[in-house]
Amino acid sequence: MFEQMNAQSLAFGKSYADTFTKAQSVAMEGFERIRDLQIKTLEDRVNAAVQFWSEAAEVRDFDAARAFWPKSVQLAKENAEKLYATSQEVFGVTLKTTEALGQLAKGSFENTSEAFAKQVNTAKKAAAK
């Protein structure tokens, strides 16, 4: 009886360890995609800011500053739009990662329930004999 309980515990432990390893892999892939999105956005915005400030350095008088003003508004608008778009992409990646983790957990619980039910039925049959 103790061997059966030990074997059952080891099987469940191995099953959960495998599931947790897969879950960690899925989570790390999600983090990597999010990191890549944010780095790409940061690089794009830094390049836009550098270009903006290099043009701003060329402004020498009031008329040039007045002509340059719309470019600063445009930069702020582009930054806000890119921030919003990136946050939506990050949310999408997070949602997909969460769904994948949920499916892993669901599968693990279903497998455990099936294995436990089989063992209970086997024990019932053995006890009835």
Buried b (16+ CB within 10 A) or exposed e, 12-21: eeeeeeebee
pTM, two decimals, is 0.74
Tokens matching residue 118: 């089989």
Interval 36-53: pLDDT, tens: 999 999 999 999 999 999
Indicate the angle between helix axes 2-56 and 62-128, nearest 10 degrees. Answer: 170
Q: Evaluate if residue 69 carries a pLDDT over 80.
A: yes
R_g over Cα of the chain: 29
